[in-house]
Amino acid sequence: MSEPIRVKNLDPTLRDEVAELLQGYDFSNCLTCGMCTAGCVYSDLHADQDPRKFVRKVVLGMREEAENDPFIWNCTMCNRCTVECPMGVNINALTRAFRGKVAKPPGFLQVIADDHIRTGNQMGVEQIDYDETLEWIEEMMQEDLKDPTYKIPIDVPNADFFFGFNAREIKHYPADLQSILNVFHAAKLNFTISSRRWDATNICLFTGKNDEFDAISRPLFEEAERLNSKEIIVTECGHAFRSTRVFARDYWNGKQFPVRHIVELYADLIKDGTLKLDKTRNTIPVTLHDPCNMVRKEGIVEPQRYVLSNTVMDFREMFPNKMYNICCGAGGGAGAVAETKAMRMVKAKPKVDQLVATGAKIGCIPCHNCMDQFVDMNRHYKLGMKMMHLTALIEVALGLVDEEKQFSH
């Protein structure tokens, strides 16, 4: 039986304190109806996953209970609860605010933030390693393109766009960056990447440390301003995309840059005929995951579907999808909290059921953070699927890579 709530133990200042963190957010919007909990696919999968209870603790002033609630770090901040809320209570923002009150986030979250501030990227890649990786990719492309003069456009002024990517694409998955550069080359795009600050991710989107969030993203925008790019395009990473969008909206006061996800760019290139795809080259059934930061929070819903419909022969939707998609289970920085790995696989089960129901053999995952989770769940649940970024499928449709080779890679 639950302990009774005693009025003498309530702290009426908590509500105002959190409201100030959220710039005047009004908790009185909450009707205690429970639609948030009903919308959370994880509320029945494990303990301490009830958004309604957490909101009520804050509203009532149950300071100790709220600040020590496991919900704060169990929540993937996917915002599925807010979609269901008739009053639009933003529980993602509330959760982030409470995370920001913690001295040190759990797992490797603070290590990642510290490495990013120190080195300019979340993986702690040193400058010499960055330079050598780009040189290696350039040499590979020169060989593949049979063009010894090909150069990766680095620090090019006045380009159409500045390309920001994920440090994983340098440290662990340089082939993914090469795939993107292959598509950019095929489209003859005028773009640049920076020799200095290139990682568009920002782990403080999840830790709630606003001063560190600013310290991490500001140099990226300063680079785009230095190079006088027209806009910023962000790689297939929902976390990097939303971080960059949020910084542009709420922090940056320099030259204004439109911030777009790479799938939006791909859609435009297909529509205007710049990218000429032959979808008959992609015959294997494909399904699409909707990353929460990209789709539900930033509203990028249709471009990836347009691209897929022009890239593959057999595109199968998961249900529910789009704004009502089910989180993969690794959002909110869960992938960097070691003790949650077993819980991540528990949370993966609803998404696994969706994947299996489609009968697809390929999962198209336009997000690096989600990709890591899908690779883990594919192995854990023995699905026998291939998880691929959208760019890899475009490479096949362009005739740059054979489907069988890409699928088996």
On the question of pLDDT at 275 being above 80, the answer is: yes
CA gap 192, 5 in Å, rounded: 58
Q: Are 132 and 261 found together in one domain?
A: yes
Q: Given 66, 100, 134, which residue is the final one in a domain?
A: 100
Residue ending a domain, among 204, 238, 267, is 267
Residue tagged 């929460």 (tokens): 292
Domain boundary among 241, 267, 293: 267
> Residues 54, 198: one domain?
no
> In sequence order, which ranges of 209-323 are alpha helices (DSSP H)?
210-226, 238-250, 262-271, 303-309
Q: Which CATH number is 310's domain given?
A: 3.40.50
Instruction: Classify 35 in phi/psi space as left (phi over 0), alpha (psi -120 to 50) or beta.
Output: alpha
Angle in degrees, CA 120, 373, 313, rounded to 5: 105
Name the DSSP class of 325.
P
Domain that holds residue 199: 109-267
Do 279 and 220 fall into the same domain? no
| Counted domains in the chain | 3
Mean pLDDT, the chain, rounded, equals 94
More confidently predicted of 29 and 80:
80
Residue 86 lies in a domain: yes
Q: Which residues contact residue 18 at a Cβ distance below 8 angstroms, ignoring those fewer than 6 apart?
A: 25, 27, 58, 94, 97, 98
Task: Give the mean pLDDT of 201-205.
Answer: 97
pLDDT-wise least confident of 42-56, 170-184, 312-326? 42-56
65, with CB counted inside 10 A (0-12, 13-18, 19+), is middle
Q: Are residues 336 and 278 in the same domain?
A: yes
Residue 99: name the closest of 21, 37, 15 by CA: 21
pLDDT in tens, 340-392: 778 899 999 999 999 999 999 999 999 999 999 999 999 999 999 999 999 99
Do 370 and 281 lie in a common domain?
yes
Kindly state whether residues 114 and 220 are assigned to the same domain: yes
